[in-house]
Amino acid sequence: MDDLDRHRHLELSSWRQAVCNAAKKLILVVPEQDGGEPLSPHPFWENIVAAMGLSEEINIPDMTVSASQLRSGDGHLLDRDISLEPVAENAAMEFQGQWNAPAGAIGRRGKESPSGMSQLIKCPLAWVLNHVLKISAAGSPALSEGNQLIGSFCHSIVEDLINESRTWKPEDAVARAVELFDARLGEMAAAYLLPGMEAEREELLYRLRRAVSDLFGRIDGAKLSVLESERCVERTDAAGQTYRGYIDISLEDAKGNPVVWDMKWSNRSKRRREEMEKGIALQLAAYCWMLDNDDLPAFGAYYMLAQTELISSHAPWLPPESVVNCDLKATWEMVRERYEAIISDLMDGSVEAIAPPDDGEEENDFGSGCVFCDYGKVCGVGYE
């Protein structure tokens, strides 16, 4: 855990840098209101006042000019007259759905990933900005939280379990998971060590124990062999495009058929089940195609850690409640055809940006990519 005093000193040091780096003059802006709510000066202003021994009655008024003074033309500050120049108001940026590039400027990626394919289908412009122009969002790195934090934490523990042994019995896996939980909590989910988080920490441990027991119980009950965790797989199609991805849990059934289980942590499993029912489970379809062959077809499934639920394509060793009527081969062919069509447009110089549908409009069958997109201020959808 960060030392709070040390963190405070670091924060104060970051405030000082702007002042220390000013070579000739320094102008500080102090908003009086924000949305009608009164604002106080930044805490660093108190440090400046104290360091310079400024007086609220004499010094500060002499070195201050208000916005109302500027608007009235009385902008006199430190022996300088400050004049205002009118600026024409720009029209609000509107969403631009079609963008153009020189023909041949955009090409394929050497190795495409399932997540890259998903981004391309949901919004070609976002894919170009990300993978071709290499433009990424600027900002301070933030610690993950909520389901993202829990999912990453539990995922890492299951990965460690599989790396340690391929033949866990459920009860032994749970006992080891508890040890890993205690060892890893401080480095991966330190928020659960804060005062007042005791109940949440016990709840998280309970859910992890439940998920690990169910996961390895299912593997044992279906007589599946665990091959690897985070297995890197790739395959090149007939057109020469290589696809690569990382499988959470790579398994094999008694006949040697490849089995792919992709672990997810979310509040509800409904979305993943609908993906398979609608034939848009792109990630599973891609992984199964990479491992598939005519003699030994691959089976794919989502394992929902929070719900201890398996959502799978047809597999003879699974109970009916775990099976969804879907054809992952057909999903892959559909996705690849769409991917190739979009790539062809991009190579011709036509780049489409896809905005969320208006009321009454039909949504992209893969959903909108705008929810977690960093480029809304580029295409204009972020201004609407």
Please tell me the distance from the alpha carbon of residue 225 to that of residue 258, in angstroms, as a whole number: 10
pLDDT tens digits, 313-329: 988 888 888 899 999 99
pLDDT tens digits, 200-209: 999 999 999 9
Task: Give pLDDT, residue 151.
Answer: 92
pLDDT > 90? residue 242: yes
Please tell me the distance from the alpha carbon of residue 133 to that of residue 106, in angstroms, as a whole number: 9
pLDDT > 90? residue 15: no
pLDDT band, very low/low/confident/very high, at 76 (cuts 50, 70, 90)? confident
Q: Give the CA angle between residues 191, 193, 198 to the nearest 5°.
A: 110
pLDDT > 60? residue 10: yes
Task: Give pLDDT, residue 382.
Answer: 83
> Which backbone phi and psi does 302 adopt, to 5 degrees?
-95, 135
pLDDT > 80? residue 218: yes
Task: Output the CA torsion 108→113→116→120 (10° steps).
Answer: 60
- The pLDDT > 90 percentage for the chain reads 59
pLDDT band, very low/low/confident/very high, at 362 (cuts 50, 70, 90)? low
* DSSP state letter for 323: B
Could you tell me which of 272, 363, 382, 287 has the C-alpha nearest to residue 329?
287
Most confident of 15-19, 72-76, 122-126: 122-126
pLDDT band, very low/low/confident/very high, at 40 (cuts 50, 70, 90)? confident
- The pLDDT > 70 percentage for the chain reads 96
Arithmetic mean of pLDDT, 24-52? 84
pLDDT band, very low/low/confident/very high, at 360 (cuts 50, 70, 90)? low
Please tell me the distance from the alpha carbon of residue 126 to that of residue 119, in angstroms, as a whole number: 7
Task: Give pLDDT, residue 142.
Answer: 62
CA distances from 171 to 176, 206, 212, 215 (A): 9, 14, 9, 11
Task: Give pLDDT, residue 266.
Answer: 92
pLDDT band, very low/low/confident/very high, at 258 (cuts 50, 70, 90)? very high
Arithmetic mean of pLDDT, 33-43? 83
Task: Give pLDDT, residue 363.
Answer: 67
Arithmetic mean of pLDDT, 346-374? 84
Q: Return the biggest CA–CA distance within the chain.
A: 89
pLDDT > 90? residue 306: yes
pLDDT > 60? residue 41: yes
Arithmetic mean of pLDDT, 205-228? 96
Count CB-CB contacts under 10 A for residue 135: 14
- Contact present, 124 and 351 (Cβ < 8 Å): yes
pLDDT band, very low/low/confident/very high, at 22 (cuts 50, 70, 90)? confident
Q: Which two tokens stand for residue 289?
A: 């195609």
Question: One-letter amino acid identity for 89?
Answer: E
Please tell me the distance from the alpha carbon of residue 261 to that of residue 299, in angstroms, as a whole number: 9
Higher pLDDT, 15 or 280: 280
Please tell me the distance from the alpha carbon of residue 299 to that of residue 301, in angstroms, as a whole number: 7
Q: Which two tokens stand for residue 122?
A: 């949901």
pLDDT > 80? residue 82: no
Arithmetic mean of pLDDT, 91-108? 91
pLDDT tens digits, 165-196: 999 999 999 999 999 999 999 989 988 998 99
- Contact present, 322 and 310 (Cβ < 8 Å): yes
Which range (126-135, 189-198, 255-264, 313-322) has the least confidence?
Answer: 313-322
With residue 297 as reference, give the H or E element that holds it.
Answer: none
Count CB-CB contacts under 10 A for residue 39: 11
Arithmetic mean of pLDDT, 357-381? 81
pLDDT > 60? residue 119: yes
Arithmetic mean of pLDDT, 337-343? 96
* DSSP per-residue letters across 53-105: T--TTTHHHHT---HHHHHHT--EETTEE------PPPPPP----EEE--TTS
- Contact present, 105 and 98 (Cβ < 8 Å): no
- Contact present, 259 and 226 (Cβ < 8 Å): no
Strands 80-81 and 350-352: unpaired
Arithmetic mean of pLDDT, 44-71? 83
With residue 243 as reference, give the H or E element that holds it.
Answer: strand 242-252
Q: What is the mean pLDDT of the chain?
A: 89
pLDDT > 60? residue 140: no
